[in-house]
Amino acid sequence: MRVLITGARGQLGLALQDALAPTGATIDAQDLPDLDISSHESVEGWFDAHEPYDVVFNCAAFTNVDGCETDFAAAFAANALGPMNLARACAGTGATLVHVSTDYVFPGSEPGARVESDVPAPISAYGRSKLAGEGLALACNPRTHVVRTAWLYGEGRNFVRTMLSLADRFDEVTVVDDQVGNPTYAVDLAHELVRIAQTSDYGVWHCTNEGTCSWADLAQETFVLAGLPTKVRRCTSAEWKAMHPESADRPAFSSLENARLEATIGNQMRPWREALAEYLGAAGQGA
């Protein structure tokens, strides 16, 4: 099997390389500046210059939620035109596309977990650009899996590492407590993406670690598992917005349910606390 990974230096791209290594696949791991998925010419030139791929995993994205508000053109290029370019190239060569999307396609106005059939209605520029990418990818290649995930952490910059860094400098950190979702370990997601890629049941999937918490809960659990005395001061989204008026709106309830996994190939995603403990232990931060 020949595999292309875009966004290969990101958290999920790195985890995917590790997950695919035991399969014996030939892995082509690419990132900027060599492959710019937002450029039709770059993608077409790349596919023309290489042997056909069996599967393309798109992990490339503009994920700065606040930055998307101030530069929607860049967000749309990476998060919408990029998946479209890859989907077209995959369609032309018969490849399967596994495109990673986000819980932020939902408005988060209703409590409870969203399933794949729920209607998206993003409230941020990031969410709108990612939803556009979903639709364009599915329209341009019938062999497309769109996999929505949430609150990702792994090797690289992420919320958990930010909390650990803040704990080195402060006795207390302020974290939003009225936005809830599913913290997801990139290693766990990568293994599930490999399983999804092997099916012909194309369409939209949800894939997160099990269980729901707030950002403040995640920060608190990080400090507990790392054996740190740092305290969490919980605040509301309105209070955070008042302190950071430039920040984008985020959904209050962005929890996802892995309904399609459960109904098809089986849901192997573990509880989020268990995954977080392993992550912190691997990073030398376990208590």
CA atoms within 13 A on the CB side of 137: 32
The predicted model scores a pTM of 0.96
pLDDT one digit per residue (tens) for the chain, 287 residues: 999 999 999 999 999 999 999 999 999 999 999 999 999 999 999 999 999 999 999 999 999 999 999 999 999 999 999 999 999 999 999 999 999 999 999 999 999 999 999 999 999 999 999 999 999 999 999 999 999 999 999 999 999 999 999 999 999 999 999 999 999 999 999 999 999 999 999 999 999 999 999 999 999 999 999 999 999 999 999 999 999 999 999 999 999 999 999 999 999 999 999 999 999 998 778 76
Residue 280: inside a domain: no
Tokens found for residue 116: 């794949």
For residue 287, the model assigns a pLDDT of 61
Residue 136: inside a domain: yes
Residue 7: inside a domain: yes
CB 106 within 8 A of CB 122: yes
Coil/strand/helix, residue 16: helix
Residue 223: inside a domain: no
Q: Cis link prior to 271 (omega < 30° from 0)?
A: no
- Sign, Cα dihedral of 85, 87, 93, 97: positive
Which are the catalytic amino acids? 126
CB 170 within 8 A of CB 229: no
For residue 86, the model assigns a pLDDT of 98
Domain of 113 in residue numbering reads as: 2-158+182-211+255-270
CA atoms within 13 A on the CB side of 222: 26
CATH classification at residue 194: 3.40.50.720
Cβ-in-10-Å burial (0-12, 13-18, 19+) of 59 comes to buried
Residue 150: inside a domain: yes
Residue 242: inside a domain: no
Number of domains forming the structure of the chain: 1
Q: What are phi and psi of 229, to 5 degrees?
A: -85, 0
Cα dist from 269 to 26, 65, 113, 153, 211, whole Å: 26, 25, 15, 14, 10
The span from the CA of 256 to the CA of 152, in Å, is 13
CB 99 within 8 A of CB 80: no
Residue 41: inside a domain: yes
Give me the DSSP letters along 43-88. Answer: HHHHHHHSPPPSEEEE------HHHHHH-HHHHHIIIIIHHHHHHH
CB 197 within 8 A of CB 145: yes
Cα dist from 74 to 36, 70, 164, whole Å: 12, 9, 30
Strand partners, 235: 176
Residue 54: inside a domain: yes
